[in-house]
Chains A and B, each alone.
Chain A
């Protein structure tokens, strides 16, 4: 009925509404893209005039000096998260996609795991950081330590990795599984040699994005990793770890120019890092998509 009403409406008015709608959509896009550009350009423009390459090779002195320790610490944290959250998340994703089949998905196991993952994904990161502080650093006497930071950070990104792994596995064509089964492969063998292999690009993409999130986190680290001007050590307990976001946060409102330079430099390195990882992730997606199309 409504369609008829529309057809008999005033054509001029409908054209005007349509025009306004299109203009509104484009304006919305511009209102999102312009601040995003402003943000990236602003970070670069603030850091670049004072940028010196030796910040990468100089230890921090708090409100001055370089960021070598923070860069190293951030990479250590990301490597640890890749190891800890990577294995846990990918295994969870495999479990959700392959072992809780659609046949049994109505049963509690899958539903509860999925619910817990969703809730964890939406959990405020500062609350996780607080719990890490009181439970791991204080109650277990770990102090500010790499292990506490890694556990909390991993808890944060595991849901993301699990979800991206699950959806990557679900996108593997059914033909592949059926082909593997027709060749007499066991489920585990087919999973390892056929399914996981073709889902790998999707899994790696999810992992990269999760790592860029982990590298850019502050709130869960402030009270678990602590702060230090030294390079990361091999001890996972009782030794604080430096990381880039800490210097952005503590030095931006210090009353000295040297501190502002440190803060801006740390922000620039973070942005460069995140951009690199997102571009790599995008390239992987793009390459595999092109590959899939040509294979067809």
Chain B
């Protein structure tokens, strides 16, 4: 299939960069294209501009940080949404609201990015982040939440918007799963005097736990690879990891899209190869995450145990 070809092209393209950048690539923070009009030097037989030095650590860290924030935000929101839509609300109101959540999944990511950078970021930076930053104690791990809140472009806004973007993915799967849970065990729980919350916690959610985990990992995969929205909201700052929750940063995907233009000006082709290496790292992360999701769904799909532990 096309997939193998895609990976092969990526690997071939990335190879010169892998040779020159070495293992330090995943640990370094610099992103220096070198002097593209100056001399060409050779390292291990690969030509690259004088003074070029690439490190992908800020990109990898940014990708993982934004995706982590996104998942932490999205899972409770998606579970609550799915539960409200299937168990709490009447059909006449649940249907249009469900459709609205579906629309959220269908909106182009540039449009979401546009909204994020023009409206969400400034709003949060003005009204929300200062509150958080000034009320959190300035010690230990909380220090990450303090400091300059910036103008709304950066890690926190990217993570929040990404979270909103993957809610529909998780919520849609969870809603379908909730609908598959047979009524009898739930009614049995209610007959035993369990409250709605206890039925949800002891019957409904355990019944479909594997599916929820699978959907979450799927959402994580989407967040890792999301490009345009993050490229617009993150501030696209190369070469440093954000010092706090609000700082500007970038991700692998956002870097590829914003740097490919200027990389093409590198006559030796080394900048392009380096982007391929970054893409290869992203592809491998996404691949692992997706395969894990498949595994989890396949395994727990069989094990989907009824009430159990009760």
> Which A residues contact B (CB, under 8 angstroms)?
1-3, 6-7, 14-15, 17-18, 20-22, 24-29, 31-33, 35-40, 42-43, 46, 115-116, 118-131, 133-135, 155, 209, 212-213, 215-219, 222-223, 245, 248-249, 252, 263-264, 267, 270-271, 274-275, 277-278, 282
Q: With A28-B80, A123-B225, A249-B232 known to touch, is A46 a contact of B103 (CB < 8 Å)?
A: no
Q: Closest Cβ of chain A: how far from B2's Cβ, in Å?
A: 5
Total A-B residue contacts, Cβ distance less than 8 Å:
231
Q: With A1-B310, A17-B195, A24-B80 known to touch, is A126 a contact of B106 (CB < 8 Å)?
A: no
Q: Closest Cβ of chain A: how far from B306's Cβ, in Å?
A: 14
Q: Given A38-B115, A126-B225, A219-B228, 15 other A-B contacts at CB below 8 A?
A: A22-B88, A25-B87, A28-B76, A36-B104, A38-B119, A40-B107, A119-B287, A122-B289, A122-B293, A125-B227, A127-B253, A218-B108, A248-B111, A252-B117, A267-B114
Classify the secondary structure of B's interface with A. Answer: helix
Looking at the complex, which one of A14, A24, A277 makes contact with B195 (CB distance below 8 Å)? Answer: A14
Residues of chain A within 8 A (CB-CB) of B293 are: 118, 122
A275 touches B103 (CB 8 A): yes
0 or 1 for each of B246-258: is its CB under 8 Å from A? (1 = yes): 0000000100110
Residues of chain B within 8 A (CB-CB) of A245 are: 108, 110, 228
Residues of chain A within 8 A (CB-CB) of B106 are: 209, 212-213, 216, 274, 277-278
Residues of chain A within 8 A (CB-CB) of B102 are: 278, 282
A29 touches B84 (CB 8 A): yes
The residue on B at minimum CB distance from A19 is B197
Q: With A126-B225, A126-B256 known to touch, is A32 a contact of B81 (CB < 8 Å)?
A: yes
A179 to B196: give the CA distance in the assembly, Å: 44
A20 to B197: give the CA distance in the assembly, Å: 9
Q: Closest Cβ of chain A: how far from B66's Cβ, in Å?
A: 13
A94 to B131: give the CA distance in the assembly, Å: 55
A288 to B284: give the CA distance in the assembly, Å: 41
Q: With A122-B290, A274-B108 known to touch, is A32 a contact of B99 (CB < 8 Å)?
A: no
Looking at the complex, which one of A130, A252, A271 makes contact with B256 (CB distance below 8 Å)? Answer: A130
Q: With A6-B194, A29-B80, A43-B114 known to touch, is A123 a contact of B6 (CB < 8 Å)?
A: yes
A263 touches B2 (CB 8 A): no
Q: With A131-B9, A252-B114 known to touch, is A42 a contact of B119 (CB < 8 Å)?
A: yes
Q: With A28-B84, A122-B286, A219-B228 known to touch, is A252 a contact of B196 (CB < 8 Å)?
A: no
B133 within 8 A of A: no
Q: With A130-B275, A130-B279 known to touch, is A25 a contact of B114 (CB < 8 Å)?
A: no
B253 touches A32 (CB 8 A): no
Residues of chain B within 8 A (CB-CB) of A218 are: 108-110, 227-228
Residues of chain B within 8 A (CB-CB) of A40 are: 103, 107
0 or 1 for each of B90-121: is its CB under 8 Å from A? (1 = yes): 00000001011111101111111111011110
A192 to B160: give the CA distance in the assembly, Å: 47
A33 touches B77 (CB 8 A): no
B162 within 8 A of A: no
Residues of chain B within 8 A (CB-CB) of A36 are: 100-101, 103-104, 164
B97 touches A267 (CB 8 A): no
B291 touches A17 (CB 8 A): no
Q: Closest Cβ of chain A: how far from B119's Cβ, in Å?
A: 5
Residues of chain B within 8 A (CB-CB) of A125 are: 225, 227
Residues of chain A within 8 A (CB-CB) of B101 are: 32-33, 36
Q: Closest Cβ of chain A: how far from B121's Cβ, in Å?
A: 12
A98 to B208: give the CA distance in the assembly, Å: 27
B39 within 8 A of A: no
Looking at the complex, which one of B2, B84, B113, B224 makes contact with A120 (CB distance below 8 Å)? Answer: B2
B253 touches A124 (CB 8 A): yes
Looking at the complex, which one of A26, A123, A130 makes contact with B286 (CB distance below 8 Å)? Answer: A123
Looking at the complex, which one of A24, A25, A39 makes contact with B104 (CB distance below 8 Å)? Answer: A39
B69 within 8 A of A: no
Report 19 cross-chain contacts, Cβ distance below 8 Å, ordered by A residue. A3-B192, A14-B195, A21-B196, A25-B88, A26-B88, A28-B77, A32-B164, A116-B1, A122-B286, A124-B282, A134-B272, A155-B2, A216-B106, A218-B227, A219-B109, A219-B228, A248-B110, A248-B111, A274-B106
B187 within 8 A of A: no
B257 touches A219 (CB 8 A): yes
